[in-house]
């Protein structure tokens, strides 16, 4: 015969276990939801794009294989070439910042402006997060740079050189390795892209 007070204690413990278990799952769910919201907040905020959709080519880097993959996306693109290029690059950066990411870049990376200068030179201005938070390493940085240059060239074959700025200023390297001081020669990257495919 089990004493009455022991039965009561067992009942209390069971109720306590159920309450604690529910609380744990509720808190975990809340934390995951908050994490997702933070990640979404960090994504570049693209201006609303309206108009007909077009096909754009992206060269997507993959950290696992160390390679670039050519892919096409159908997205609404503005008619102005600078805005159009900016939108394509934003798609690429958004892809890298959406879980599961094929290639790690800095959280909150964004393209601020794209300027087409004469003689096939295009100047792309990124925000600080793009460079300051980028993982450091030759291959890690080269994959990012090659992916950007190849994407630009694939969507606009007139591009011959790409100059990368960060917040409108020159920067020596992306994250300690890839040289950003000299404009990147798109033709030279053609071979790199072939090697990386």
Partner 1 sequence: MIARLTPRWLSLALLCAAIGLYFAPGARTQAQKHLTVYSRSAVYSVPIISVDGQDYIGLSDILEPLGAVDARVEGKKWKLRFTPNGGQEITAEFQQGKNKAKARGHELSLGNKFHLENDRGYIPYHDIGMVLPIFEPLPVDLHQASYRVFLGDVAIKFTTEMQKGAAPRLALNFSAPVNPTIATEPGHVRLVFRRDALVNAGPETTATGDNLITSSSFNDSAGTPQITVAGTVPLTASFANGNRTIYIAPVPSALPAAESPKPAAPPAQTAEQSPATAIPAPGPSVPAGPRFLIVIDPAHGGDERGAAITPSLAEKDVNLVIARRLQHELQNKGIAANLLRNADTAMAVDDRATATNAVHPALYICIHSANLGTGMRIFTALMSPSGATTHSFLPWSQAQAPYLDLSSQFAGSISAELNNRQVPVTALPAPLRPMRNIAAPAIAVEIAPPDETVANINNPQYQGDLVAAIANGIAAMKPRLQGVKIQ
Binding site for partner 1 (CB under 8 A): 63, 66, 135-140, 142, 145, 172-173, 175-179, 181-182, 184-185, 187-189, 191-192, 195-196
Q: DSSP code of 110?
A: -
Nearer to partner 1, 58 or 140 (CB): 140
The nearest distance, CB 161 to partner 1, in angstroms, is: 12
Which of 80/185 has CB closer to partner 1?
185
Return the number of other C-beta atoms located less than 10 Å from residue 79's C-beta: 9
C-beta of 120: minimal distance to partner 1 in Å?
15
Q: How far is CA 30 from the centre of its chain?
A: 25
Residue 77 or 140 having the CB closest to partner 1: 140
Give the three-class secondary structure for 17: helix
Spell out the residues 6+ positions from residue 135 whose beta carbon is closer than 8 angstroms to its own: 104, 105, 141, 175
Nearest distance from residue 191's CB to partner 1, in Å?
A: 7
CA dihedral for 143, 144, 145, 149, sign (positive or negative)? positive
Closer residue to partner 1 in complex, CB, 32/195: 195
């Amino acid at each position: 015969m089990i004493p009455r007070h022991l039965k009561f204690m067992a009942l209390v413990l069971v109720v306590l276990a159920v309450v604690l278990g529910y609380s744990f799952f509720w808190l975990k769910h809340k934390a995951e939801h908050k994490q997702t919201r933070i990640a979404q907040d960090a994504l570049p905020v693209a201006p609303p794009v309206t108009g007909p959709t077009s096909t754009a080519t992206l060269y997507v880097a993959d950290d696992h294989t160390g390679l670039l993959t050519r892919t096409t996306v159908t997205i609404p693109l503005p008619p102005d070439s600078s805005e159009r290029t900016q939108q394509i690059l934003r798609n690429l950066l958004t892809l890298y910042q959406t879980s599961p990411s094929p290639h790690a870049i800095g959280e909150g990376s964004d393209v601020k402006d794209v300027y087409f200068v004469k003689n096939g030179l295009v100047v792309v201005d990124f925000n600080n997060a793009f460079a300051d938070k980028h993982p450091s390493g030759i291959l890690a940085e080269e994959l990012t740079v090659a992916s950007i240059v190849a994407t630009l060239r694939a969507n606009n074959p007139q591009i011959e050189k790409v100059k990368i700025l960060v917040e409108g200023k020159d920067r020596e390297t992306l994250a300690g390795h890839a040289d950003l001081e000299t404009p990147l020669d798109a033709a030279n990257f053609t071979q790199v892209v072939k090697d990386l495919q």
